[in-house]
A = this chain, B = another copy of it.
């Protein structure tokens, strides 16, 4: 539920917060239009909504809106008692960096999340992290950069290498310390959410756990920003409901991540999964959440990363998450997915292309899409 109220009505805010708390719900305040602000009551509000009359009578409350979509917390369109629809603004998810800069997903520019498939040694982890930082410096986009790396790795085969665990997390901590770049890492075991969450700046739910509901709720309760990958066999509605599992626990700092779906059409091996870029566009229209793209897991082949990443830009992705390599010679030492990590020097060319796209192409697309949205 969304409640719009006059700015400066602190007692009204307190009353709403108290009522929400009694139903086990969190609230979030967004300033809006100078004079008015909105409170978003997060979580399962079915019981809470029975008090809509009471809420509307609080001093300074201008309107209340219920979400008409199936997706109570993340839908873009909400509807008031008078039937009028309100299109909510898209959410900006912020990740604090140790360098004091906020990384902002959904703020109108492409976020570059990039790093090793996994930390294997401290040396390799730091080499990549510094190389990433150099690219950020070269293009003046350090505040749009984050590291990524898997210390706990879901592997199809039980006998495959599964990452260094907390030792890997320690390496990522060190990389953050040396470069000032925050990092995101995957969590699989719900018992480890607090321990990993204490270290990492952002947690990732992987494609195989996209409907592991206990894990989703554990991450939602922990409250840190989350990257939620789409299950490779999931329809978009299932993906959005997975986000609702997190949001219902009071955590709306969710970044959706499209990473390709399984179809017959990639048979023959020209691409590991099939990117569903229109799902990305659809998520942008239907939800308030930022949405990014993972060209590495989509393709499984570093040579396909550049064109796939740019295609995601054409669909106005809010960012990308890419596996990279600091040195071609290291490829044969990589213990997992060696073929999909792009060399950092090639990644730099991709960054340049993305920035050119943002400057010369995206504004024209955005203008058109705004036209379409206004017409409905």
Contact = CB atoms under 8 A, between A and B. Distances in A.
Contact of A233 (B231, B241, B350, B372): B231
Interface residues of A, number: 82
Contacts of A209: 211-212
Nearest to A249: B158
A102 interface: no
Interface string A214-225: 110100000000
A263 B267 contact: no
A19 interface: no
Interface in A1-55: 44, 46
Question: Copies per complex?
Answer: 4
Interface of A: 44, 46, 70, 72, 154-159, 188-191, 208-209, 211-215, 217, 231-238, 241, 244-245, 248, 261-268, 270-271, 274-279, 281-282, 299, 303-304, 306-308, 310-316, 346, 349-350, 352-353, 356-357, 359-361, 364-365, 367-369, 371-372
B233 A365 contact: no
Contacts of A311: 277, 311-312, 314-315
Residue with the greatest number of chain B CB neighbours at <10 A, chosen from A72, A248, A279 = A279
Contacts of A158: 44, 213, 217, 241, 244-245, 248
A70 B213 contact: no
B213 A155 contact: yes
A270 B285 CA distance: 10
Given A304-B278, A367-B349, A262 B233 contact: yes
A327 B303 CA distance: 43
Contacts of A244: 157-159
